[in-house]
Amino acid sequence: MVGSGGPAGRSWRLGAMSARTPVPPGSVRLCVHPALRFFLPRRGRDSGELDLPHDPTATVGHLIQSAGIPLTEVGDLLVAGVSTFWGSRLQERDRLDVGVRTRPQPLQGPALFLLDVHLGALARRLRLLGVDTAYQKEAEDEQLVEQAGRQDRVLLSRDRGLLMRRAPRRAAFVRGHYPDDQLADVIERFRPPLKPWSLCLACGGTLMPVSKDAVAHRLEPGTLRTIQQFSQCRACGHVYWHGAHDAKLQQVVRRYWAGRV
């Protein structure tokens, strides 16, 4: 029946080709990459299309953020197949294709990260894999953005409002509700150099090998009997040995060695 021209055929084709329905007068249309659609308001989430009122003064960047998408997540931008940029403006009835950042994404600076306050479990995992990660339980948005800029760190957050309002230079939205998914997202996206068991999980300081004698007074008798190799944080003095981490974190490293992180 396809192409028959009958009423049933026509409606089927219209449904299948909704991407080509005309943009209504007074509007512009965002056509959003599937990997970014979860940011959109419900009405645009399935199709990835969102019609917005045409505002001749609004930049492309402003329109994308008004659809709920932080610019840190956006890749190529096309209007009628031609590349455009955040500061450009659309004509009435334009369609803007919004692409996603390609992965791996170049770090554009040192492999240093700063995590938003709600990402403590992710901070421990990143440190376990040897990724330099700054994290504090409490910090205002302003402090986070200031620290990220001063120390040239990538600010990681699940608060898209923070990413949109403050526009930090190096930043990313972390995908996933669970710390293991978040870790996989960050590692896959930025591919930072990894060196498991080299950083303190508590403060992010560097771990150095230390003799058993030097730390014996801080250890339980059972640990003293069974463990021979220790390391100590140069910043906070915390003592580590491989058996000291909980099973979940041990799994993280095993998955990394198996190439699955």
Tokens at residue 21, please? 């329905």
Shortest reach from residue 232's CB to Zn ion, in Å? 9
The Cα 140–Cα 157 span in angstroms is: 13
107 counts as binding Zn ion under rule CB under 5 A: no
The CA dihedral of 120, 121, 122, 125, to the nearest 10 degrees, is 120
Binding mask 197-236 for Zn ion (x = CB under 5 A): ---x-xx-x---------------------------x-xx
Query: Which is nearer to Zn ion, 84 or 198 (by Cβ)?
Result: 198
123 scored as a contact of Zn ion (CB under 5 A): no
- Between 58 and 202, CB nearer to Zn ion: 202
The answer to whether residues 110 and 104 touch, using CB atoms and an 8 Å cutoff, is no
The nearer residue to Zn ion, 28 or 126, going by C-beta atoms, is 126
- We find the least distance from the C-beta atom of residue 128 to Zn ion, in angstroms, to be 13
Amino acid making up residue 127: R
Instruction: Return the range that interacts with Zn ion (CB under 5 A); candidates 18-26, 94-102, 196-204, 248-256.
Output: 196-204
Residue 56, judged by CB atoms within 10 A of its CB (0-12, 13-18, 19+), counts as exposed
233-252 footprint of Zn ion as x/- string (CB under 5 A): x-xx-x--------------
Using the minimum distance from each CB to Zn ion, give the nearer residue, 160 or 238.
238
Name the minimum Å distance from CB 134 to Zn ion.
Answer: 12
Instruction: Report the candidate in 172, 152, 165 with the shortest Cα–Cα distance to residue 100.
Output: 172
Smallest gap from Cβ 68 to Zn ion, in A, equals 38
Q: Which residues of 211-220 are buried (b: 16+ CB within 10 A; e: fewer)?
A: eeeebeeebe
Per-residue x/- marks for Zn ion, 14-33, CB under 5 A? --------------------
Q: Which is nearer to Zn ion, 238 or 255 (CB)?
A: 238
**Beta strands in 142-245, from DSSP E residues, in sequence order:** 154-157, 171-173, 207-210, 230-233, 239-240
Please identify, among the stretches 53-61, 83-91, 104-112, 194-202, the one whose residues bind Zn ion according to the rule CB under 5 A: 194-202
Distance in Å, CB of 111 to Zn ion, minimum: 19
CB of 203 to Zn ion, least distance (A): 3
What is the b/e burial string over 66-85, where b = at least 16 CB atoms within 10 angstroms of the residue's CB? ebbbbbbbbeebebeeeebe
Closest separation in Å from C-beta 132 to Zn ion? 13
Q: How many CB atoms lie within 10 A of CB 9?
A: 13
- Residue count, binding to Zn ion (CB under 5 A): 8
Nearest Cα to Cα of residue 99 among 26, 150, 36: 36
Of 85, 181, 186, which Cα lies nearest the Cα of 135?
186
Nearer to Zn ion, 74 or 201 (CB): 201
Mapped onto helix, strand or coil, the DSSP state of residue 160 is helix
Residues of the shown chain interacting with Zn ion in the complex, contacts defined by CB under 5 A: 200, 202-203, 205, 233, 235-236, 238
